[in-house]
A and B are shown apart, each in its own frame.
Chain A
Amino acid sequence: MHNILELRHITKEFPGVRALNDVSAAFREGEVHAIVGENGAGKSTLMKVLSGAYVPDSGEIVVNGTSFAHMTPQRAHELHIEIVYQEFNQFATLTVAENIFTGDLKGSALWIDRQGMERETEALFERMQVRIDPKAYVRELSVAEQQLVEIGRAIHRGAKVLVMDEPTAPLTVREVDILFQLVRRLRQEGTTVIYISHRLEEIFALADRVTIMRDGRVVDVRGIEGLTREDLIAGMIGRSISDMFPRRTVTPGEPVFEVRHLWGNGDQDIHFALRKGEILGIAGLVGAGRTELARLLFGADPIEKGEVLMEGRPLRIRTPKDALGAGIAYASEDRKRDGLFLGLPVDRNIASASVGRFCTFGIVNDRKQTAVVKEEIEKLRIATPSLRQLVKNLSGGNQQKIVLAKWLISDVKVVIFDEPTRGIDIGAKQEIYRIMNEMTESGISIIMISSEMEEVLGMSDRILVLYEGRQMGVLEKAAFSQEAVMTLASGYPAGSEQRGTEEMRE
């Protein structure tokens, strides 16, 4: 088998980060080649280099023996390199067929051959063995169907190399199955599939070879035979899990925050009690209703029925202001959208949720604010040249610390973290974990939503697992295991691990 695509010594730097450091990788014709690595390992950057979205600082890309200094989206298309992104590039208000044919609509300048496109789309879907109506509007499709349309478009364009970025992240177990079958069929037809994922089960189920990345470098390239889970993890993290997470030093105390039979936002009958100083992990697949739960508790979306109690007293939460008043804070998964004021300086960001603290008669006492903010910056070791630095100029890890600082000074009792370490590098991650630990030591309770299995298992005292808006169970520390969480997250009741795991693999 010859190499259809090769990356040679690719380096790409961003201000302050070497996202790719002398990366070389070769992809053979008709193989499923997995690229694995933690968040921030450089997988996505590598993909963007392949798609032509980024121009590498040095290195070359060799396609079928022809060398290029960099790709452009146009060139990638001509060379039949197609990419299915995590965020789909689709036109929600157009039909499935029109989306498939984006860029080369059938027909003449004045007249579009709608029926022809629909016929061809149908034929394409038949080949893929999926059932989607070509006339449907993309906005009406489920996430899984949208993804299949995206893959269909790539096949329609004659993909020889298909790059998929975390394709199963939004899918349910059954949908993952359909996707896997499709990927295997593509491989049979001689398509090279580059499969980016951090879900290890999938890699064992699909891949022929694996490239492991860490901190912008390629650590190892291995055939799947003889490879173990432990090898992969060791390669990805570069150390064993036990070093990654600080030891939990807090013994959770009395229940402080209780949620009783809560409904709303698609979530049904959520019921738990959070203890003082506890970290309650919330696990589940994308779309299981985790963020929805957080938004309910924080008053960002309306509660339909059920009770929320703080220290035994029932709360009326209708707006985020109510929630904050009761001592509940929310650090969203998209900190740039929901948590930070990127165009404002560090001090204003940290003080934004507690300006009132520094005010007399509505007038801000800058000195008081500066003192508190400075203390927090030192405590959390936020690396910033000054208090006046604009937050958009800081790294992801420091930005996340600013969100933490914002809540720390605002006198909260419960903090809901949604994907607290998304998109930040490993060193900063460990610091975030350390800060979370310190928060619980000072009596704050934490609800932590996370998609990273290691993180949920490593940081939580208990884990609540959601599946399609329903609470599948709460795992105690003694019952923690990746299998137990995955079983519940896939919609199987506790105790059916065996069946769940089998389903995952096939």
Chain B
Amino acid sequence: MKKRVGTAAAGIVKRNAIMIILLVMMAFFQIRNPNFLSMSNVITIFRQGACTGILAVGLGIVLVVGGIDLSIGALVSMTSVILGCLTVEQGWPVWAASLLCIVLTTALGLLSGTSIFLTSMPPLIATLGMSNIVQGIAYLAHGGLPVYGIPDSIRELGQGAIGIIPKSVIVWFIMLALGWFLLEKTKLGRNIYAVGSNEEAARLSGIHTFQIKTFCYSICGFFAGIAGVVMTGRLNSGQTTAGGTLYIDALTACVIGGISMSGGEGKLPKTIIGVVIMTALSNGMIAIGLNSYVQLAVKGSLMIAAVGFDSYQRLKKTGKA
């Protein structure tokens, strides 16, 4: 009888593990910092999370198709620098510069996807390599220096608000809605789930797996480009390290949100919870004075914990069958 109560409790904990983590974390930070749950700080958390959230939409799609993309952080950095250079130094109009950046990141995604499919190399390595190439370009584009004097319209996108709702958050939710519609409501989305769930069965069902997979990497690049523009606005400058380790946040957010690392499973809207957890964690750690190195270590640990938990669940399930 005691055992049964124990397993029932364990079941509740397991099903709601994410919410429990979130609540415990909030409670902890709230005790240490009474301002943590104030309206203005909550809005700040969402604003800080917007870029991660936009990245998580693209990464989520790649994860559903059974891949992974580690280059998204570097893509944000590259977008930031190039957008800065083009608008400040070359005098390009904002829309044209933004468009070019997004086209570029989309093309790089397409390149990753194509090389992964053609060689069937592990996507982890392919996109890790791509990440280094792109980060290199970000440094080269402006000699490793930041670009200041970004046009106001970009800054507005990153820092401004409509009423109390930050514009960056609006962009995030629009992108999320786009991603959700794509995955849930279109033929393309159905095929993405099918390929991620069982690539061979998808191929034998007449689905063009090459098109589907490269599309996913491309759209992931597209969202990284958007995130890069928003990030440039938030930083009010073109920074070579704008993206930095954002891929850790985005990946952890996706996995916490229930998107499986092994593909074919998960819903994009749930990444919101993951993004909020990751951002609240950063925000809270800064508020209680932990430096960025500690933050990095904590986030890395959380990523391992989330992905490890996901894999372990899978192991147990297949072990039973």
Contacts and interface: CB of A to CB of B under 8 A. Distances in A.
Interface in B247-272: 260, 264-265
B200 A348 contact: no
Contacts of B15: none
A393 to B, nearest CB: 10
A392 B198 CA distance: 12
Given A332-B204, A352-B202, 6 more contacts: A323-B206, A325-B206, A344-B197, A352-B205, A355-B187, A406-B205
Interface string B40-64: 0000000000000000000000000
B193 A320 contact: no
Interface string B202-241: 1111111000000000000000000000000000000000
Contact of B194 (A324, A330, A348, A392): A348
Interface in A348-407: 348, 351-353, 355-356, 359, 362-364, 392, 406
A56 B260 CA distance: 33
Would you list the 5 A-B pairs with minimal beta carbon distance, nearest first? A341-B197, A324-B206, A353-B205, A321-B206, A343-B264
A341 B198 contact: yes
B198 A364 contact: no
30 contacts: A298-B204, A300-B204, A320-B206, A321-B207, A321-B208, A324-B205, A324-B206, A337-B198, A338-B200, A339-B201, A340-B198, A341-B198, A341-B201, A342-B197, A343-B264, A344-B193, A344-B197, A344-B264, A348-B190, A348-B193, A348-B194, A352-B202, A352-B207, A353-B205, A355-B191, A359-B186, A359-B187, A363-B186, A364-B185, A364-B189
Contacts of B194: 341, 344, 348, 352
B204 A320 contact: yes
Given A321-B206, A321-B208, A341-B264, A351 B200 contact: no
Interface in B106-129: none
Interface of A: 298, 300, 320-321, 323-325, 330, 332, 337-344, 348, 351-353, 355-356, 359, 362-364, 392, 406
Contacts of A332: 204
Interface in B87-136: none
Contacts of B1: none
A300 B260 CA distance: 28
Contacts of B203: 300, 320
B129 to A, nearest CB: 27
Contacts of B197: 341-344
B186 A364 contact: yes
Contacts of B202: 341, 352
Nearest to B317: A392
Contacts of A353: 205-206
B141 interface: no
A332 B201 CA distance: 9
B285 interface: no
B206 A341 contact: no
A341 to B, nearest CB: 4
Contacts of A340: 198, 201
B162 interface: no
Given A343-B265, A364-B187, A392-B321, A338 B204 contact: yes
Interface of B: 185-191, 193-194, 197-198, 200-208, 260, 264-265, 321
B205 A320 contact: yes
B195 to A, nearest CB: 9
Given A342-B197, A343-B264, A355 B204 contact: no
Contact of B198 (A324, A342, A406): A342
B190 A364 contact: yes
Contacts of B189: 364
B319 to A, nearest CB: 12
A72 to B, nearest CB: 16
A392 B260 CA distance: 16
Nearest to A407: B205
A344 B201 CA distance: 12
A352 B190 contact: yes
A353 B198 CA distance: 13
Nearest to A325: B206
A364 B189 CA distance: 9
A363 B181 CA distance: 9
Residue with the greatest number of chain B CB neighbours at <10 A, chosen from A323, A332, A362, A406? A362
Nearest to A322: B206
Nearest to A341: B197
Nearest to B191: A355
Residue with the greatest number of chain A CB neighbours at <10 A, chosen from B186, B189, B205? B205
A389 B213 CA distance: 26
A360 to B, nearest CB: 10
Nearest to B318: A392
A342 B198 CA distance: 8
A352 B195 CA distance: 10
A220 B321 CA distance: 30
A351 B204 contact: no
Nearest to A330: B204
Contacts of B208: 321
Nearest to A339: B201
Contacts of B188: 362
A161 to B, nearest CB: 27
Contacts of A351: 190
Nearest to B197: A341
A359 B186 CA distance: 8
Nearest to A323: B206
A363 B193 contact: no
A330 B204 CA distance: 8
A134 B22 CA distance: 60
A362 B186 CA distance: 5
Contacts of A359: 186-187
A325 B200 CA distance: 18
Contacts of B191: 355
Nearest to B198: A341
Nearest to A351: B190
Contacts of A323: 206
A485 B10 CA distance: 57
A341 B193 contact: yes
Nearest to B264: A343
A341 B321 CA distance: 16
Nearest to A391: B197
Nearest to A334: B200
B111 to A, nearest CB: 24
A344 B189 CA distance: 13
Residue with the greatest number of chain A CB neighbours at <10 A, chosen from B194, B206, B321? B206
A337 B264 contact: no
A406 B205 CA distance: 9
Contacts of B185: 363-364
Residue with the greatest number of chain B CB neighbours at <10 A, chosen from A298, A343, A364? A343
B184 to A, nearest CB: 8
A362 B265 CA distance: 21
Nearest to B265: A343
